[in-house]
Amino acid sequence: MSEPSADHTPPTTDTAWAETASRLLEFQQKLDAWDRLYNEELSALRKEFSQLTAHYIREYQAKRPPGQPRR
């Protein structure tokens, strides 16, 4: 069997740990960014839903026949 060449040596333990730590940090940052985006979108949808619901209720109450009691 031939020995591995000097330009094709496996990474040292420190290098492997550093690469793994770097990838984990990058992955965590991506997860955090997606989480922020999700929460922003959810907040915007809730706000829009609330506004539409309030508008619907106002329209419904405005069109109610006179003399009909409120619930």
Of residues 2 and 14, the one with the higher pLDDT is 14
pTM over 0.75: no
Q: Could you give the CA distance from residue 34 to residue 36 in angstroms, rounded to a whole number?
A: 5
Predicted local confidence at residue 6, as pLDDT? 56
Q: pLDDT tens digits for 11-21?
A: 678 999 999 99
DSSP result, 27-66 = HHHHHHHHHHHHHHHHHHHHHHHHHHHHHHHHHHHHHSPT
Residue 43 carries which side chain, given as an amino acid letter?
S
Exposed (0-12), middle (13-18) or buried (19+): which is 31, by Cβ within 10 Å? exposed
Structure tokens at 8: 């094709």
Q: Over 70: is that where the pLDDT of 71 sits?
A: no
